Structure 1
Amino acid sequence: MPEAFTNSKRIGAVATVALASLALSACGQAPEAAQPGAAGASDFTACMVSDQGGFDDKSFNQLSHDGLLQAQEQLGIKTLEAESKSPDDFEPNMTAMVQQGCNVIIPVGFMLADSTEAAAAANPNIDFAIVDYDAIKADNVLGLNYDAAQAAFLAGYAAAGASKTGTVATYGGAAIPTVTIFMDGFAKGVEHYNKEKGKDVKVLGWDVKAQTGQFVGDFENQTVAQQITEGFLSQKADIILPVGGPLYQGGAEAIKASGQEAYIIGVDSDLAARETQYKDIIMTSITKSMDKSVLEAIKMSVDGSFKGGTYTGTLENDGVGLASFGAFESKLPAGMTDELAQLKADIISGKIKDISPSSPKA
C-alpha cells in the first residue's frame, strides 16, 4: 500500500520574497510570479511525491519539499504530499495525487520518470514539474534538472588540495545519472588538480572512463554505506563524497568510529546547516537550488503561465554551487578559494567543459 498522503495546513498569504525567474529553454524567460492572495489561489492544490528516502532525508527530497512549503506560505495555496518508502510506492502515490485533484504535481527524482510520464499523458490538464529529469517531452511537463558536475568539479579540486593522505573517495546510492554526475565532477576536479599541480591524488570508488564504481544499491542501507566507507578509510582516504540522500549518515558514522581525521562532502543541500551532529566532519556541500526551482514552477502553475520544457541549474544561474567551507576553510591550502573562483569562471565561460556524460545537454 502507498504511504498515506498528508493534507498540510493552509497558511495565510505573506509578503513575497523576490526570487530569480527560471530560464526555460522551451519558452524563454519565466513570466512574473503569482502574487500572494491571487484570485483562485485558495482553491489551488500543489502536490509532491517523494523518491525513496522520504522528506526528512536532509538532501534532495527535503530540499524539494522546502519549495512546496514555501509555495504554501507565500501563495496561500493548499498542498498534499505522498512519501515513497520504496519504488513500489511511486505509481500508487502518483495515482493518489491525481485522484485528489492536484493542479500541479512535483515528482522528486529521476526514478519517478516512468510514473510521471504515464500520469502526465493520462492527465493533460494537470501540470507536472519533475525534479532531476528532463527527457519527458509534453506540454504539461517541466523538467527541473541541474548540472551538478560543475559544482562537484570544484569540490573535487578542493578535496584534492586539502587531502593529507593523497587519497579521496566517493560512492553512490545507485548507478543512475543523477548520482554519477556528482561522481564524474568530483573525479574530474581531482584530475584537474593533479594536472595543474603535478600531483597524484587518487580517487577511490569511481572510474569516469569506465563509468563504474562503488554503490550501495539503494538509498536506504546505512550498513552498506558504512561498510563502503570503512573500506575507503582502510585505504587511507580522508575526504569522502557520499552521493545518495541520507546515505551520508553511514559514511559519517564510519568516520566517527574510526577515530581517523577524515571528512565527508554533502550533496544537494548545505549538509552542515541541516545536520549539526556531523558538522565537525563536513568539509562542504555540493548544492542544488531545488527549493527555489520547485517554488517557481508552482508559481507559474498558479498564475497560468506554466509550460512544458526544461530548466537547468548551473553555476552561472546559481542553480548549483558549493556551500561555505565553514571551519574547514582554515584547512584549505593557501590561495585555494581564489583558485576555486577562477575555476568557476572558467566553467561558466566554457573554458572547462565536458565534465560529465550525464550533464544536461544544451
Structure 2
Amino acid sequence: MSLIYKSENMVSINNHKYAVVIAARNESNVIGHLIESIKKQKYPSNLLDIFVVADNCTDNTQEVARKAGAVVFERFNKQRVGKGYALDYAFKIIKSKFNHYDGYFIFDADNLLDENYIAEMNKVFDNDYKIITSYRNSKNYDTNWISAGYSLWFLREARFLNNSRMILKTGCAVSGTGFLVHDDIIEKNNGWKHHLLTEDIEFSIDNAIQGELIGYCDKAKIYDEQPYDFEQSWNQRLRWAKGFYQVFANYGFDLIKGIFKNKSFCCYDMFMTVMPAMIISILSAVTNLIFLTYALVNIEVSPMIVQETTSAIIMSFANFYLVIFVLGLLTTISEWKQIRATAKKKILYTFTFPIFIFTYVPISIVALFKKIEWKPITHSVVKTIEEVR
C-alpha cells in the first residue's frame, strides 16, 4: 500500500500548546541532547514546556535536565517500577500544578527530534487525531547486526504498517516512544493507567477497543538508540514478549468483541498484532522434531519418515529466512536514504536481519514460563541531532 500511495498532506490552522513528558532513569549521558533538540524545534517556544521525571535515579540526571531547561520531578518508588508509573506520576503533578495543555508528547531520554518534528505532528493533531505516532529511525543503525535488526524492524513498522494504516484510515499503533496524546485522553484515564510490561501496545489496544483511531505522521522523524549488546537485547525483548502475552490475556476477548460487535477493522488488526502466532510456529517445529526423533530411533523401519521430516524442518527454516529477508530487503530499499550506515553495512545487515528475528523463538519460549520484571536499558550512544542527521 505505502509503496504505491502517499499519506495525505495535512495543514494546521492552530498552533497548540504542548507539554513534553520524559521518563528518565539514570540517563545523564543522553537527556541533555534530547532537551537541546526539543529547544531547536521550528515551533513557537512559548507553546512548549518540558517536564522530566527523574525516576529512581542514582546519577545526576535531574541536574543535567534542569541545567538544560526542563522542569524536573524526582520520583522514588521501588515497588511500582516502570515507565507507566513514572508517566502517571508526572501527569498527576502537571494536571494539578501547571497550566492547561492541549496535548502531551511522550519521549524516552535517548531520543533526538528532527527540527520539524513538533510542527509536523501539530498538523495531524489539528486535524482531529487525539493520538499520533511518528516515524522512528535509529541513532546507531550501523553499530552491529543487533542494533540494525531493531532499526529495520521499526523502519518496517513505520513505513509498511503505520503508514499503510494511516492511508486506509484504519487506526495505527504506538510503538515505544515518540507519540502525542490529547489532553482529553489523559483526562479520561485520570493520568496514565497502563502498567503492563509493554505499556505502549497496551495503550494502543485499549484505545482501539474504545474506538479511538491512532494517527501517524510520516514527516515527524525521531531517532532513538537501539541495544547492541546481546544480553541487554535479550532482557529487553524478553520483557516485550511477556508484555505481549499479558496484553493478549487482558484484552484479547475485548478485541474479539470489538471485531464482531463494532465491526472494527482496527480491533482485528490489533488482535492479529498481539496474537501469539510465534507459539503456533514453535509448536509446529516441535511436532516435526518429535517425528524426526521417533524416526531416527526407528530408522530401520521408517527411513521415509526421516527423509520427509528432515526435509520439512529444513524447508520451514528456509521459508522463514526467505520471508523475513524479503521484508528486510524491501525496507532497506525503500528507506535507503534514511538509514545512517554505509552501503556495505546496509546490504550486510539485510542478510543478518532474519537471524535477529529468529532469536525471538527462544525468547518467546522463555517468556512463557519465566517471571519477568521491568529492567532499565543503559543508553551510551551520545550524539547530537546534527551528528545523527
TM over 0.5: no
Higher strand share: 1
Higher helix share: 2
Instruction: Report the TM-score, using the length of structure 1 for normalisation.
Output: 0.30
